[in-house]
Chains A and B, each alone.
Chain A
Amino acid sequence: MIPFTYTRAGDAAEAVRLAGRGDVKYIGGGTNLVDLLRETIERPAALVDVTGLSSAIEPRGNGGLLIGAAVRNTALAEHRDVRTRYPVLARAVLAGASGQIRNMATVGGNILQRTRCAYFYDTEGSRCNKRSPGQGCDAIDGFNRTHAILGASSSCVATHPSDMCVALAALGATVHLEGADGARTVPLTDLHRLPADHPEIETVLEPGELITAVELPPLAAAARSTYRKVRDRASYAFALVSVAAALEVDNGRVKEVRLALGGVAHKPWRAWAAETALRDGPATTRAFRAAAQAELAAANPLPDNGFKIELAIRTITAVLGELAGSDA
């Protein structure tokens, strides 16, 4: 690690003031940032500790839920309202990392965690446009079975590693931000960017802007929702493909559906095309598979990761079938 100063902020306003627009990183649980500091991939002059921000989970007047940025992952998955009204979110959090890391990691930090692409971490031996813009990407011609099949570019094929964000994308969550120019909200699905020519710019956050909370809208369909993660080990591994889904079936037809994919793109991937194909249509295995195929039609595989296309199609079909249950 290169030297940095450390300050603990008492609240969001103080954190934003301490950060200014300078070379500063906010630190939550540190489960990703400490590693990145140690590898000198992150080299901030100062850290502002934001674990003292709100760690409350509060009901909203509209029936939604407001989740403070400093809520730990375990606390989120444990919360009664999350478990009963948004099970996809509890399941996604529990599918990620280990018990120890979930106790440390915050909601804000989870959203802003960086890719686990091995070439991004290999500071000594690999080229990476995300780490050193303009350098080139060794993953594209390298070992890329874990990399992106959707929305990637010729400069970056990394994936976003979060499970939680996939559920948040499906649920239509909104991210609350606070910065030097005031507060604003951004839909979670618009927060992360696709890599295009600038994979080093991963979100729409302005310099010094801080995530203060995540808001879940009221969503009746979320009561029947789940998360399925396909990975190389049964536990404690990043996703090859994951699916977050909510489904409401009425009289054999899809009344409401929410679908998002993880492990396939530079951002949590909301499956808008599949949702459109499914809505108001029959809740059948055939329709589920056709919708999944429609979503994956845009996939562009690398030499080692073509298997992810069929894996994603089958996982979507299976998860929707599970949620439809006897209604299918």
Chain B
Amino acid sequence: MVTKDFSIRINGTAVGPPADPRVSLLDLLRETLQLHGTKKGCDQGACGACTVLADGERIVSCLALAVQYVGRNVVTIEGLAGDDELHPLQRAFIEHDGFQCGYCTPGQICSAVGMAAEARRGVPSHVTPDLTVGEVELTHDELRERMSGNLCRCGAHNGIVAAIAETCAGERK
């Protein structure tokens, strides 16, 4: 018999869902769990600053009711790498100046991790010329389209695209 799991796994730790179903996953992370890496930008799904991974898929945590994520495995920017390590994308963002103020960065990085996984399994995008190809080559046009759900108001997009392009290319070598 399978035991029903009533908790949300967040960066590997089981967390009880909020008693009030109105609490967003974003507010659960920031207000209850004090995981402040995930940022609240627009709180309406437009900016991507609150992007986290749920079972490896990138989502905007501001439009997610936390109760809907019971039984799911959520990873935030704090859980991407080990305690004293950086994720390759975090290193690449530093290398390529992929930020200025840094507010959008955790969302950019979590989004890029999810995006890379989508491309690896062949999910096409709006700019993919041929829908039938198995694996998508992440050209700059593809990257810019696939990352359009993450805004950077400082205008660091060139560095962001460069950091993601380099990391994705490295993964494929």
Contact = CB atoms under 8 A, between A and B. Distances in A.
Interface residues of A, number: 37
Contacts of A234: 145, 148
A78 interface: yes
Contacts of A49: 67-68
Interface string B127-165: 010011000000000001111111000000000000000
A307 interface: no
A47 interface: yes
Given A74-B123, A100-B111, A103-B58, A30 B68 contact: yes
Contacts of B20: 3
Interface of B is mostly: loop
Nearest to A5: B21
A104 B61 CA distance: 10
A195 B132 CA distance: 39
Nearest to B24: A34
Interface residues of B, number: 40
B86 interface: no
A43 to B, nearest CB: 12
Interface string A293-316: 000000000000000000000000
Contacts of A90: 124, 131
Contacts of B123: 74, 77-78
Contacts of B121: 78
A199 to B, nearest CB: 23
Contacts of B44: 35, 38
A122 to B, nearest CB: 13
A97 B146 CA distance: 11
A98 to B, nearest CB: 3
Contacts of B62: 34
A103 B149 CA distance: 12
Interface in B30-75: 43-45, 48, 51, 57-60, 62-65, 67-68, 70
Nearest to A237: B148
Contacts of B111: 99-100
Contact of A101 (B65, B67, B68, B149): B149
A37 B22 contact: yes
B57 A103 contact: yes
B124 A30 contact: no
Contacts of A100: 45, 48, 51, 58-60, 111, 114, 149
B59 A103 contact: yes
B92 interface: no
B63 A104 contact: yes
A166 B163 CA distance: 36
Interface in A83-113: 83-84, 87, 90-91, 94-95, 97-101, 103-104
Contact of B63 (A1, A31, A94): A31
B118 interface: yes
Nearest to B21: A6
B45 A31 contact: yes
A234 B22 CA distance: 34
A76 B131 CA distance: 13
B11 interface: no
Contacts of B28: none
Nearest to A101: B45
A4 interface: yes
A35 B122 CA distance: 31
A31 B125 CA distance: 20
Contacts of A97: 149
B122 A98 contact: no
Given A83-B131, A100-B114, A235-B126, 5 more contacts: A30-B65, A31-B63, A98-B48, A98-B149, A100-B58
28 contacts: A3-B20, A3-B22, A6-B21, A6-B67, A30-B65, A34-B24, A38-B44, A47-B21, A49-B68, A74-B118, A74-B123, A77-B123, A77-B124, A94-B125, A94-B126, A95-B126, A98-B48, A99-B114, A99-B115, A99-B149, A100-B48, A100-B60, A100-B149, A101-B45, A103-B58, A104-B64, A234-B148, A235-B148
Per CB-CB distance, the 5 closest pairs between chain A and chain B, nearest first, are A98-B149, A6-B21, A235-B148, A236-B148, A83-B131
Interface of A: 1, 3-6, 8, 27, 29-31, 34-35, 37-38, 47, 49, 51, 74, 77-78, 83-84, 87, 90-91, 94-95, 97-101, 103-104, 234-236
